[in-house]
Amino acid sequence: MDGTMTFSAPVESLDPIATELRECEPRAPQQMKALVIRAADHIDDLKRKADDYSAAITLFRGFLNDWATRLDGSTDVRIGMFDSESRAQEKVRAAQSVVLDVARLMREAAALS
């Protein structure tokens, strides 16, 4: 070594138990130190995954709400007595397009899992 000091980057724990483990690691018996750090890392990884899953669930609920709103709107097809046959067909096709688009989005979301 060249005599310079190096410091490791501080580890930020996400979980209070992982923090406690990291704080007690210096006092742990030598044969337990690596295990204590691995346990703290594992707890933090689980916390990250739980946070990611929670965010994904929140996002998916937003998708479900949007899809339900779009599907509800597509059922409100009003064809007036002064609408031509082609105009009535156009309104029906627009409603069908919304349903097909939501179905496509749902299939795409299912493929991501």
- The overall average pLDDT reported for the chain is 88
**One-letter amino acid for residue 94 of the chain:** A
Number of domains in the chain: 1
pTM above 0.75, yes or no: no
> Taking 50 as the threshold, does the pLDDT of residue 1 lie above it?
no
> Taking 60 as the threshold, does the pLDDT of residue 103 lie above it?
yes
Residue 40: closest CA among 28, 53, 55, 57: 28
The phi and psi torsions of 72 (rounded to 5 degrees) equal: -60, -45
Q: Is residue 70 in a domain?
A: yes
Q: Is residue 10 in a domain?
A: no
Q: Is residue 8 in a domain?
A: no
